[in-house]
């Protein structure tokens, strides 16, 4: 008798095996001539060599399905185990406007024309600036694109960063160590990731460095290769910080910079690195720019009215 051992990498065994190992029980029904044992993060199968090859191939399909959709159930298992490989390829690619299947199968899509333009620009360019007010989905759409690129193995890691600029608060007076002081600034990025990656897998990604979330100052001196990098709140970078960040770009990297020039928290008379970069880089091939506005707001309907109201008085000061 022969045996194979399949390792579950970056996959939660609890989610993949199912409640009370229901998914493993279903596999055993389809392969009654194999002895299938699931322990820890491995699945071992013992039996005839030809049957093992078939089982290994189907398991690879199931793992790809789980990686893409973040869930697996009886219907998915039956589909993968009973259809041919071409059918499974169609199932995995025919996803319409869906950017990524989030936690619990939530569909993450570009919901407005400008968000769709952002998606299109990221496919055509290695560096994109997404500019617009709060609530327009700049960061959320960007994180979805980063997760998609990671799942499709287009990049090896995701790096999310923000300048830790005090927006009326005093950072030094916040309780805790440096990480605890800075985490509130990173919270919007954590929130987006939790929507798109199951909690256990997200924790694994953060622990092994596949996903890194850090303030902008931590980028100094690094070369960011094979990474999808998002600089959020770019309007709060200085000229020197922006130049430092832009020159971190390594081979096979994608850079997305988001910001709202109307919400600069820098000291008075300090030039916003984002505003300057938009002027300096506007004619460079390979750099895309998309401008979102109140029509792209996907928060509460009052947010659109609030943005419009402030826009009407922005030139009064």
Of 72, 257, 67, whose CA–CA distance to 161 is shortest? 257
Q: What pLDDT does residue 68 have?
A: 72
- Separation CA 12–CA 10 (nearest Å): 7
**Residues 59, 149 within the same domain:** no
Number of domains composing the chain: 2
Q: What is the residue range of 135's domain?
A: 98-311
The CATH number for 40's domain is: 3.30.1370.10
Q: Are 213 and 182 in contact (CB under 8 A)?
A: no
Residue found by looking up tokens 């998309």 in the block: 290
CB-based contacts of 98, cutoff 8 Å, min separation 6: 107, 108, 109
Q: What pLDDT does residue 256 have?
A: 97
**Residues 111, 77 within the same domain:** no
Q: What pLDDT does residue 180 have?
A: 61
User: Of 43, 58, 93, which one is at a domain's C-terminal end?
Assistant: 93
Q: Are 31 and 43 in contact (CB under 8 A)?
A: no
Q: What pLDDT does residue 309 have?
A: 84
The CATH number for 299's domain is: 3.40.50.300
Of 251, 223, 255, 262, whose CA–CA distance to 136 is shortest? 262
**Residues 176, 293 within the same domain:** yes
Q: What pLDDT does residue 249 have?
A: 95
Q: What pLDDT does residue 96 have?
A: 43
Task: Please give the model's pTM, rounded to 2 decimal places.
Answer: 0.68
3-state SS assignment for residue 256: strand
- Separation CA 313–CA 317 (nearest Å): 8
Q: For residue 39, what are the CA distances in angstroms to 44, 132, 232?
A: 8, 49, 41
Q: What pLDDT does residue 177 have?
A: 52
Q: What pLDDT does residue 178 have?
A: 53
Q: What pLDDT does residue 110 have?
A: 87
Task: Average pLDDT across each block of 10 residues of the chain; the chain has 317 residues. List them in order.
Answer: 85 85 90 91 91 90 80 80 58 57 78 90 95 90 94 93 62 53 74 88 91 88 94 93 94 95 88 94 94 82 79 65
Structure confidence by residue, pLDDT tens digits, 111-135: 888 999 999 999 999 999 999 988 8
């Amino acid at each position: 008798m022969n045996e194979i051992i399949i390792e579950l990498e970056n996959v939660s065994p609890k989610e993949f095996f199912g409640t009370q190992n229901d998914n493993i029980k279903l596999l055993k029904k389809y392969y009654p001539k194999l002895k299938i044992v699931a322990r820890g993060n491995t699945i071992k199968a013992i039996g005839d060599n030809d049957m093992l090859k078939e089982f290994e191939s189907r398991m690879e399909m199931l793992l790809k399905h789980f990686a893409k959709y973040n869930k697996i159930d009886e219907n998915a298992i039956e589909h993968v185990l009973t259809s041919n490989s071409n059918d499974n390829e169609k199932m995995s690619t025919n996803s319409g406007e869906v950017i990524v299947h989030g936690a619990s199968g939530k569909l993450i899509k570009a919901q407005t024309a400008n968000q769709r333009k952002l998606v299109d620009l990221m496919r055509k360019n290695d560096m994109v600036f997404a500019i617009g007010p709060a609530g327009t989905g700049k960061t959320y759409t960007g994180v979805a694109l980063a997760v998609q690129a990671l799942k499709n193995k287009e990049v090896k890691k995701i790096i999310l960063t923000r300048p830790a600029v005090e927006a009326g608060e005093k950072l030094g007076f916040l309780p805790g160590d440096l990480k605890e002081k800075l985490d509130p600034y990173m919270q919007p990025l954590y929130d987006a990731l939790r929507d798109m990656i199951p909690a256990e897998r997200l924790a694994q990604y953060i622990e092994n460095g596949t996903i890194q979330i850090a303030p902008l100052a931590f980028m100094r001196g690094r070369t960011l290769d094979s990474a999808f990098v998002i600089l959020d709140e770019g309007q709060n970078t200085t000229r020197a910080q922006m130049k430092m960040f832009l020159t971190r770009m390594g081979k096979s990297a994608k850079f997305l910079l988001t910001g709202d020039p109307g919400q600069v928290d820098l000291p008075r008379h300090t030039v916003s690195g984002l505003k300057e970069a938009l002027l300096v880089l506007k004619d460079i091939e390979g750099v895309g720019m998309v401008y979102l506005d109140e029509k792209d707001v996907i928060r509460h309907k009052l947010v659109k009215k609030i943005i419009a109201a402030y826009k009407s008085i922005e030139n009064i000061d």
